[in-house]
Structure formats: structure tokens, C-alpha cells
């Protein structure tokens, strides 16, 4: 029982590490929370300190999700329920980190990392999906939502055709919900037409003014 508790708590605490805050401060001595959305994820890190900061933050956030799943495997080997639960907790920690007053990111990075740890081949779809969605739509919130949906579809298909544990579908469903909750303000801005545009479409919008 102690291993179960430690695994869940460790997954949350690792997920809660504010990679964006650390990276942006290290590169530019800036507080990421004073820029853009105030979130600590890769998109806001890019706004605050450039593409390198965004990339490093994204990679760090992905590794948090990977680490959470492997902690479950280390402490409670062979338990798919714990793998799924720790994967979810990495997203919860990222979105609502205890270190920063429960204000973090939207969960996309650790969600991708957890999915890759659960099925490594998913990296071939998920890693290029985020930049592709941003290039096409110009909205990071849309990219995050579509990525979470893609993760759910992947694990539903894996459960049907490859007999992967249904608990992984539960993980993907829960993280889709938590990502959506974190993005509620963004959805409201999308409806109002005031959502921030990022990536190439942002530059195009500036040139057209």
C-alpha cells in the first residue's frame, strides 16, 4: 500500500515541476507567469523567451509524463491501473502545481509523455501533431485539445485491436477532461474571437495589420 501512495504522490510532484518557469528564468531571467497566458507550458515559454525556451520546456514536460509512468512500473510492477493513475497525476500536477499556488499549464506535454511511455510508437503521431495543429490553426488550445483527443483514439484502438489494458483508455479519458478544464478560459476566448494566435499565423496576422 505504501508503494501505491508513494507512486501517486511522486507522479503528482514530478508533474508539478514548473519546467517553463525554470527554463525561462535560466535563459532570460524572466518570470514566465508575467507573460501571455501566465501558464508554465511550452507555448507561453516560447512567448516569454523564444523558440529554444519553448522547445526545452516542451521536452521537459514530456519527460515528466514518461517519468510518472516509469515510477509506477518501478514501485508497483505490472499494475496497469497504477500506470494509468500515475500518468493522470502527472497531468494534474502540471495543471495544478502545488509549488506555484495550483496555477500551471494545460497538460499537453506530460500527457504526450505518458502516452509515449505507455505505447512508445505513439510518439510518431503525437510529437509532430502539436506543431502541425499550431501551423494549421494558429491556436495552441486547439492543438492541445486535438492532441488529447488523438491520445484517446489511439488507446481505444489499441484496446480493441491489440488488447492493451482498458485502464489506458481510462487514463486518456481522464486527461482529456483535465486538459479541457484547464483550457476553459481559452475556449471562451475562441468563441469570442479573442484567443491568442501563435506560430506562423501570428506573424501573418501581424503583417496584415
| Nearest Cα to Cα of residue 24 among 45, 41, 44, 38 | 45
| Contact partners, residue 173, CB within 8 Å, separation at least 6 | 152
Provide the 3-class DSSP secondary structure of residue 115: helix
The arithmetic mean of pLDDT across residues 140-156, rounded, is 97
Count the domains in the chain: 1
Q: Which domain holds residue 63?
A: 2-207
Provide the sign of the torsion angle of the four alpha carbons 129, 124, 178, 156, taken in this order.
Answer: positive
Q: Residue 196 — pLDDT band, cuts 50, 70, 90?
A: confident
Identify the residue whose cell numbers are 469570442.
192
Buried b (16+ CB within 10 A) or exposed e, 170-205: bbbbbbbebbbebbeebeebbeeeebbbbbeeeeee
Give the span between the Cα atoms of 154 and 2, in whole angstroms. 32
pLDDT in tens, 116-146: 999 999 999 999 999 999 999 999 999 999 9
Average of per-residue pLDDT values in the chain: 94
pLDDT in tens, 35-54: 988 899 998 999 899 999 99
Amino acid at each position: 500500500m505504501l508503494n501505491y501512495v508513494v507512486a501517486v504522490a511522486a507522479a503528482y510532484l514530478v508533474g508539478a515541476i514548473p519546467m517553463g518557469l525554470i527554463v525561462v528564468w535560466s535563459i532570460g531571467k524572466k518570470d514566465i507567469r508575467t507573460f501571455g497566458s501566465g501558464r508554465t507550458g511550452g507555448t507561453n515559454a516560447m512567448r516569454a523567451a523564444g523558440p529554444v525556451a519553448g522547445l526545452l520546456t516542451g521536452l521537459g514536460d514530456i519527460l515528466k509524463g514518461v517519468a510518472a509512468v516509469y515510477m509506477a512500473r518501478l514501485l508497483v510492477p505490472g499494475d496497469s491501473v497504477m500506470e494509468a493513475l500515475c500518468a493522470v497525476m502527472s497531468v494534474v500536477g502540471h495543471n495544478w502545481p502545488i509549488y506555484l499556488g495550483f496555477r500551471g499549464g494545460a497538460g499537453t506535454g506530460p500527457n504526450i509523455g505518458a502516452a509515449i511511455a505507455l505505447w512508445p510508437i505513439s510518439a510518431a503521431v503525437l510529437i509532430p501533431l502539436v506543431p502541425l495543429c499550431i501551423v494549421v490553426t494558429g491556436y495552441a488550445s486547439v492543438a492541445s485539445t486535438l492532441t488529447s483527443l488523438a491520445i484517446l483514439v489511439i488507446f481505444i484502438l489499441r484496446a480493441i485491436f491489440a488488447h492493451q489494458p482498458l485502464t489506458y483508455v481510462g487514463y486518456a479519458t481522464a486527461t482529456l477532461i483535465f486538459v479541457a478544464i484547464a483550457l476553459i478560459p481559452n475556449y471562451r476566448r475562441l468563441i469570442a474571437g479573442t484567443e491568442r494566435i501563435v506560430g506562423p499565423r501570428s506573424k501573418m496576422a501581424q503583417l496584415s495589420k
